[in-house]
Amino acid sequence: MDTVTLRPWSEGDFPLLQRANTPAMTAHLNGPESDELVADRHERYLRLGAEGVAHTFVILEGGQPVGSIAYWDVEWRDRPAYETGWFVLPEAQGRGLASVALGLVIADARARGGERRLLTACPGADNAASNGVCRRNGFTLVGETSGEFRDAPFTMNEWVLDLDAETPDA
């Protein structure tokens, strides 16, 4: 595996979101979004990053974009926390890149300090790969919850990591 690094999301990263908006890439997210919603997502990443309430990164392998990972401010069970989510393009999947990227995000969130000392992740309950990424990075599965996502029922697992605790090597 080439070196995995993160760089902040930028104006020129919109094509990466478009590449991730396929039926295969969104199978665990109730399917693709409209082109308009993808454009809105890109603008939201830029705006929330500028406001300092979200931290969105491009995952680079050997300097080439292969996915994205982010974390953002949330309230989780009445506590200030961060939530994280990611994607890795099909041609780069299965090589542990999401686990390495999540390890880098954990380090970034820890270094940020402040009152948010929990990091949560809520992958689809049927998304074995993303649930495995949480497990490998020291998250604890605290339950399953159902709701609506992209206008359809969605069941997800709730994972949490104490940012003050040690994390195993991903």
Q: What is the CATH number of the domain that holds 84?
A: 3.40.630.30
In a domain, 169, yes or no: no
pLDDT value of position 170: 45
pLDDT band at 167 (very low <50, low <70, confident <90, very high): low
In a domain, 35, yes or no: yes
pLDDT value of position 169: 53
In a domain, 170, yes or no: no
Q: What is the pLDDT of residues 31-81, one digit of tens each?
A: 899 999 999 999 999 999 999 999 999 999 999 999 999 999 999 999 999
The residue that leads in pLDDT, 153 or 43, is 43
In a domain, 29, yes or no: yes
| CA separation for the pair 160, 170 (Å, rounded) | 16
Take residue 168 and report the two structure tokens written for it.
């195993």
Domain enclosing residue 101, as ranges: 4-162
In a domain, 168, yes or no: no
pLDDT band at 28 (very low <50, low <70, confident <90, very high): confident
Take residue 158 and report the two structure tokens written for it.
């709730």
In a domain, 167, yes or no: no
The Cα angle at residue 141 between residues 136 and 146, in degrees rounded to 5: 125
Q: What is the distance of C-alpha 35 from the center of its chain?
A: 20
| CA separation for the pair 47, 54 (Å, rounded) | 9
pLDDT at 2 over 90: no
pLDDT at 85 over 60: yes
Decide if 84 contacts 71 (C-beta within 8 A): yes
pLDDT at 9 over 90: yes
In the chain, how many domains are there?
1
Q: What is the pLDDT of residues 87-138, one digit of tens each?
A: 999 999 999 999 999 999 999 999 987 888 999 999 999 999 999 999 999 9
